[in-house]
Chain A
Amino acid sequence: MAQTIADKKCSALVIGGSAGSLDVLLEIFPDLKSNLSFPIILVTHRKSGNDSLLTDLLKSRTHLIVNEAEEKQPILRGNVYITPGDYHLLIEEEITISLDYSEKVNYSRPSIDVTFQSAAEVFKDELVCILLSGSNADGVEGLKIVEKWGGRVIIQNPDTAIMPYMPQQALNEIKTALVLNSFEMAAFINKLNN
C-alpha cells in the first residue's frame, strides 16, 4: 500500500495539525531531503502573534527553505510555507498564496479544511495531504474533498497521536487513507520525490 500510494506524481504536500502536532513536525523535518520536488504547506492551529516561533523552530531543523507565508507569494518546490496565525490560506490557480481574513471555520483561523479544499481544487490528484494530532475535527471535511479530487490522504495513527480525536475523526470518514506513525512519515514524504 505504502509503495503504490507513493508512486503517483506529487505536486504539493499540505500538512494540517492542531494540539500535539508540533512534536510530530519536529520529528519529521530533520529527516526530510533538502531537494524535495514539491512544496510543503503547513496549517496548524496556534495563537496569533506567535508566528515566528514555529518558523524559527523548523528553520533550525531542516535544509528546506522555510517561509512565513505572504499573500501573493509564489509557491515553489523545496520550500515550506507556514500559514500565519489568524488568516486562512488559499491557493490560486497560478500556484500563489492568497491570505483571507474571513470568518473562522471550525472555530479556527487558519482552518485546515479551508486550505485542504483550496489545494484539492488546484492540485487535484497530484495533491498529498497529511492530517496530524489534534482535538477538534478541523481537516476532516477538507480531506473528503481531497479524496474526491483523487488526492492522497495520510492520517497520523490515532493510537500514537498525543491528541487522537482529529486523526480518528478523519479515519472514520476517509476510507482510502493511509495510516502512518510519526516516525514513518519522513521516509514516506521523501519517497514522494519525482
Chain B
Amino acid sequence: MISEAIDNEQIDALLSDVLEVHGYDFLEYSHASIKRRITRLYTLDNFVSFAEFRYAVKSDKQYFKRFLEEITVNVTEMFRDPGFYRSLRHDVLPVLGTYPFIRIWVAGCSTGEEAYSLAILLKELNLLQKSLIYATDINPSVLEKAKKGMFPLNYLKGYSENYVASDGTKDFSSYYTANYSLAKFDESLSSKMIFSTHNLVSDHSFNEFQFILCRNVLIYFDKELQHKVFQLFDNSLEKLGYLALGSKESLDFWPKAKEYKRVKLEKIWRKL
C-alpha cells in the first residue's frame, strides 16, 4: 500500500491523542513502522482529511478498536522458522520438562498461532498436562480470535510443511478439524492457555515464568523501549529460564545481556 506522505507532526499529534484519550502509548514505537501503519490505515479508510481521521481515532470508540487492530502488526504463522521450533523441541522443552510445572508466557501472541504451535510441541513431549501458556497481547480483538483456535484452512498446507520441517512426526491434520474455510484446533491444546490483554509498554510483570517467547514484537519498538521490555522480561523470568526472540531480534546490546547465555544458533537465551 503506497500513499501520500503524512508529516511527522501529524503522526505525533495523533499518537499523543491516543495516549491521552485511550491510554495506549505508541510514542516509543519505531517511527518508520508506525508511520507506515498509520498512513496505510488512513488511505485504506478513505478519510477526506487527516483532521477527520484524527477526530475519529480520538472520539469514535468503535473506530479506535479498528485503529488498534490495524496499526499493530498481526501477521503470524504456525511453526514459523522451523529451525527455531526444532531447537525448542530438542534443546529447550526437554530441560523444562524436568520441572514439576511449566509456566510459559507468549508475549504479543496476536491471533495465537505460536501459542498453538507451542502447545502441539508440549503435547508431543507429554508435557502439556503440566504446562500453562499465558498468551497476551495489547489488542483485545486478536485475543478473541486466538481463543477460538480457528485458522484459515488455506494456510494449513504451509503450516503443515513448517511442522514437518521442525521435526514434527505426527499427521498434522490430526490436530484440527476442517470446518468450511477454517481449521479448528483441538480444544485439548487451548485448555492449557490463558488469554489476557497485556501492554508491554505500560503493564508490569504479572507472574514468574520458565520460558518467555516474544517474537517479532520488539522490531516495532525503539531501542529504549526494547531495553525496558527486556527488563520486564528479566523481572518475569526465573533463574535458568529461557527467553526467545524473533529471527532478527537480539539481546546483544542490552546492558544485562551478559547475564544470559545464547542457546546454539537460534535466538534463544538462557538466564544464568
Contact = CB atoms under 8 A, between A and B. Distances in A.
The dominant DSSP class at the A interface is mixed
B36 A118 contact: yes
Nearest to A109: B75
B216 A101 contact: yes
A92 B223 CA distance: 12
Interface stretch (B26-34, B129-137, B205-213): B26-34
B2 interface: yes
Interface residues on B, range: 20 to 34
Interface in A141-160: 141-142, 144-145
A114 interface: yes
Interface residues of A, number: 25
Contact of A90 (B36, B73, B223, B250): B36
A145 B5 CA distance: 9
Interface in A78-127: 84, 87, 90-93, 98-103, 105, 113-114, 117-118, 121
A47 interface: no
B75 A145 contact: no
Interface of A: 70-72, 84, 87, 90-93, 98-103, 105, 113-114, 117-118, 121, 141-142, 144-145
Given A90-B36, A98-B33, 12 more contacts: A91-B32, A92-B32, A93-B8, A98-B219, A101-B73, A101-B216, A101-B219, A102-B36, A102-B73, A103-B75, A114-B36, A121-B5
9 contacts: A70-B248, A84-B248, A90-B32, A93-B32, A98-B30, A98-B33, A100-B219, A100-B220, A114-B36
